[in-house]
Amino acid sequence: MLESSFGYIAIIAVAYVFGKIVAKFKLPSILGWLIVGIVFGPYLGKLVSLDFINNTYYKIFIHVFECFAGV
């Protein structure tokens, strides 16, 4: 459990720092956060198990969120 918490904190810290670096180039900080999210993702950080990602409820949630974000 401690390793998982440390993983979350480390990824958030890296995203924050990378957001600040991107902001130096007069780009929005969220662009840096998105890049870190793509690079680390749930697989590299090992924060989410593969069983959870393959779960039907997770897939339904992702599809609903995609519809919401697309609107």
Q: Where are the domains of the chain?
A: 2-70
Parts of the chain with a pLDDT under 50: 1-2
Compute how many other C-beta atoms are within 10 angstroms of the C-beta atom of residue 49. 10
Whole-number pLDDT of residue 37 = 84
Whole-number pLDDT of residue 55 = 86
Q: Are 15 and 31 in contact (CB under 8 A)?
A: no
Whole-number pLDDT of residue 3 = 59
Q: CA dihedral in degrees (5, 8, 12, 15; nearest 10)?
A: 150
Q: What is the Cα–Cα distance from 64 to 71, expressed in whole angstroms? A: 11
Q: What is the Cα–Cα distance from 56 to 41, expressed in whole angstroms? A: 19
